[in-house]
């Protein structure tokens, strides 16, 4: 059994997309902690201003919880740092002297076997500690083992965003930002990967990206997973009032790849679907819809739900779940949630990046508007085919993406 200090960028709760406010990072971190605590002692150092009852809900899993108020960075500060700092935005987003002090105190007061950093936003704390620490921190007290869990190959996400936006003149400002961040992140991500004693990634694709960035790195795949009991076919009824041909897309809707996906699907794909299935309706399910989506409120075939109590009734009522993502990366939990509920999924290949799915077996792939629309229409019209696709998807997720099978992969990185 190890004593582990885990650093997270936000409180790892709630553990599912019940309220529409959990992000993939939150869900991954909770499920890792909840299963690690069965064999290890866990302390948690995190950012957040949660209600006290949410912290209390984590007490069964964590011996000690220290939560610090997240810092606030203005848009002008971000603009200045983009132009003047050698550090990427993600390394500055949660920079807090108070958090550095918390970490120093915890390290003085406790003998940790492992320091586990969840995501690149928390890397500054590990890098400063590692730069200051000696191999032996006290008499017969070895330095803790540093594990970096890289939730995405972040430099690759910005590279993809640049190559997408640079083709559209109205997005050139965003493209310039991504170009700068891509270059900064490549240097920074290489630095934290080389500083860590072990690196975890969520997919073989991310492992390849990081090993290309830092030759000699031996990253370990610890994939994202899904709660197989919570996301189970029939566990909740479909939401009353959904269109008979409901097309459902879930996610945090101020996240740039999700915003792009919703707009592309509405503008380029949905009209083609409606030409063949006139009553098809697109449901964009997730908190904090970005201002770029505001005009969709008046679209007769689109519903922006905002935060919802539970995403599962929408997934359960979907004729087809869609993942029309064109930028970003990593392995997306929304894909696993839909498949675990036995729903037919149509996705771009990027939307399922990092998953070893086969077109027509667990999912239907389509990357251009016409092909995407045709795949959706085929499943709306052939419900037996849609059901069969969902059954295979559920079986595949059961076999490969349950959290109980995933956490031992992470434990192999501990000394």
> Tell me, what CATH number does 390's domain have?
3.40.50.2000
Say if 414 falls within a structural domain: no
For residue 171, which phi and psi values (nearest 5 degrees)?
-110, 15
Residues 190 and 251 in one domain: no
> For the packed helices 154-165 and 204-213, what is the interaxial angle rounded to 10 degrees?
90
Residues 350 and 275 in one domain: yes
* pLDDT tens figures, 41-91: 999 999 987 666 678 888 899 999 999 999 988 888 888 888 889 999 999
In which residue ranges of the chain is pLDDT below 70? 15-22, 50-53, 134-141, 330
Say if 407 falls within a structural domain: no
Neighbouring C-beta atoms of residue 22, cutoff 10 Å: 21
Please report the DSSP string for 301-360 in residue order.
TEEEEES-S-SHHHHHT-SEEEE---S--S--HHHHHHHHTT--EEE-TGGGTT----BT
Q: Residue 141: its pLDDT value, please?
A: 65
Residues 199, 148 contacting (CB under 8 angstroms): yes
Say if 406 falls within a structural domain: no
Q: Residue 83: its pLDDT value, please?
A: 85
Residues 77 and 217 in one domain: yes
- Counting the structural domains of the chain, the total is 2
For residue 341, which phi and psi values (nearest 5 degrees)?
-85, 5
Q: Residue 52: its pLDDT value, please?
A: 67
For residue 320, which phi and psi values (nearest 5 degrees)?
-150, 135
C-alpha to C-alpha distance for 397 and 385, rounded to whole angstroms: 18
Q: Residue 22: its pLDDT value, please?
A: 47
Residues 327, 160 contacting (CB under 8 angstroms): yes
Residues 332, 24 contacting (CB under 8 angstroms): yes
C-alpha to C-alpha distance for 207 and 199, rounded to whole angstroms: 9
Q: Residue 134: its pLDDT value, please?
A: 59
Say if 238 falls within a structural domain: no
Q: Residue 161: its pLDDT value, please?
A: 84
Q: Residue 79: its pLDDT value, please?
A: 86
Q: Which domain holds residue 279?
A: 246-400
* pLDDT tens figures, 304-323: 999 998 999 999 999 999 99
Q: Show the beta-strand stretches assigned E in 1-97.
A: 3-8, 41-47, 64-68
> For the packed helices 154-165 and 172-195, what is the interaxial angle rounded to 10 degrees?
160
Residues 273 and 379 in one domain: yes
Residues 7, 126 contacting (CB under 8 angstroms): yes
Residues 386 and 341 in one domain: yes
Residues 205 and 274 in one domain: no
Name the pTM for this structure.
Answer: 0.81
C-alpha to C-alpha distance for 110 and 62, rounded to whole angstroms: 14
Kindly list the distances between the CA atom of residue 45 and the CA atoms of 4, 8, 93, 224, in Å, as whole numbers in the listed order: 11, 7, 16, 21
C-alpha to C-alpha distance for 188 and 153, rounded to whole angstroms: 11
Secondary structure tally for the chain: helices H, strands E: 16, 15
Last residue of a domain, one of 206, 222, 238: 222
Residues 30 and 101 in one domain: yes
Residues 76 and 205 in one domain: yes
Say if 409 falls within a structural domain: no
Q: Residue 162: its pLDDT value, please?
A: 87
Say if 255 falls within a structural domain: yes
């Amino acid at each position: 059994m190890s004593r582990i200090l885990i650093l997270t960028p936000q409180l790892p709760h709630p553990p599912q997309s019940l309220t529409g406010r959990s992000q993939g990072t939150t869900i991954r971190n909770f499920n890792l902690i909840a299963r690690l605590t069965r064999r290890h002692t866990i302390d948690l150092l995190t950012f957040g201003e949660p209600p006290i009852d949410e912290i209390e809900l984590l007490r069964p899993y964590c011996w000690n919880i220290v939560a610090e108020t997240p810092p606030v960075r203005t848009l002008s500060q971000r603009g200045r740092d983009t132009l003047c700092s050698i550090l990427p935005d993600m390394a500055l987003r949660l920079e807090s002297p108070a958090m550095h002090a918390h970490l120093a105190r915890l390290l003085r007061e406790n003998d940790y076997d492992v320091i586990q950093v969840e995501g690149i936003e928390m890397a500054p704390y590990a890098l400063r500690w590692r730069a200051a620490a000696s191999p032996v921190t006290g008499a017969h007290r070895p330095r803790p083992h540093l594990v970096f869990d890289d939730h995405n190959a972040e430099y690759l996400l910005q590279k993809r965003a640049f190559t997408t936006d640079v083709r559209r003149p109205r997005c050139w400002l965003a493209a310039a930002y991504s170009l700068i961040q891509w270059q900064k992140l490549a240097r920074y991500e290489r630095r934290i990967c080389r500083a860590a004693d072990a690196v975890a990634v969520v997919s073989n694709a991310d492992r390849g990206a990081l090993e290309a960035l830092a030759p000699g790195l031996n990253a370990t795949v610890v994939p994202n997973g899904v709660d197989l009991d919570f996301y189970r076919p029939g566990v909740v009824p479909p939401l009353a009032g959904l269109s008979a041909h409901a097309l459902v897309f879930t996610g945090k809707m101020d996240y740039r790849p999700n915003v792009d996906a919703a707009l592309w699907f509405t503008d380029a794909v949905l009209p083609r679907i409606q030409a063949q299935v006139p009553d098809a309706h697109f449901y964009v399910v997730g908190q904090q819809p970005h201002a770029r989506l505001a005009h969709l409120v008046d679209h007769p075939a689109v519903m922006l739900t905002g935060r919802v109590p539970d995403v599962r009734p929408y997934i359960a009522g979907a004729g087809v779940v869609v993942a029309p993502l064109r930028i970003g990366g990593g392995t997306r939990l929304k894909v696993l949630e839909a498949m675990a509920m036995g729903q037919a999924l149509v996705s771009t290949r990027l939307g399922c990046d990092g998953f070893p799915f086969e077109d027509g077996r667990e999912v239907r792939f389509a990357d251009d508007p016409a092909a995407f629309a045709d795949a959706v229409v085929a499943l709306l019209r052939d419900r037996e085919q849609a059901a069969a696709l969902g059954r295979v998807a559920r079986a595949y997720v059961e076999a490969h993406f349950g959290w109980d099978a995933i956490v031992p992969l992470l434990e192999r990185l501990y000394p």
